[in-house]
Amino acid sequence: MTLDMSHLDISPQKLFTFSPSESKIGFLFIAICNNPDFAITPTRGIISDKPVKIKIFYKPTACITFRASVQVYLPSIMSTPLCFTVSAYTDPRL
């Protein structure tokens, strides 16, 4: 699975918010990249009867093609992680 953040100008940020509402499910996000422009918050927690907003944040500071692999662990419902890739292309002409 790929989350495509499309073409981005330098410095604007792009946020995606997911609001799951399942009962008592623990989660853990592990981003496999070394880029300070990319973050996921919160990286861990418990989803209960109230939705939890999980933000995938990328604010480019350089002209690059960005790719990061992310693993999502849901230990109460599956033994192997879900994996997806986040990608974006930064272009100074945008």
The residue segments making up the domain with residue 56 are 2-90
pLDDT digit string, tens, across residues 74-90: 888 889 998 988 888 88
Q: How many domains does the chain have?
A: 1
Percent pLDDT > 90 in the chain is 17
Structure tokens of 73?
Answer: 């662990």
pLDDT band at 71 (very low <50, low <70, confident <90, very high): very high
- One DSSP character per residue, 43-76 reads SEEEE-SS---EEEEE---SS-EEEEEEEEE-TT
Question: What CATH number did the domain enclosing 30 receive?
Answer: 2.60.40.10
Q: Checking DSSP bridges between strand 14-18 and strand 25-32, what pairing results, if any?
A: unpaired
Taking the CA atoms of residue 93, residue 55, residue 35 and residue 86 in that order, the dihedral angle to the nearest 10 degrees is -70
For residue 7, list its beta bridge partners: 89
Strands of 82-90's sheet, edge to edge?
2-8, 82-90, 65-73, 25-32, 44-47
Which pLDDT does position 31 carry in this prediction?
93
CA distance 65 to 28: 26
pLDDT band at 61 (very low <50, low <70, confident <90, very high): confident
Residue with more model confidence, 46 or 17: 46
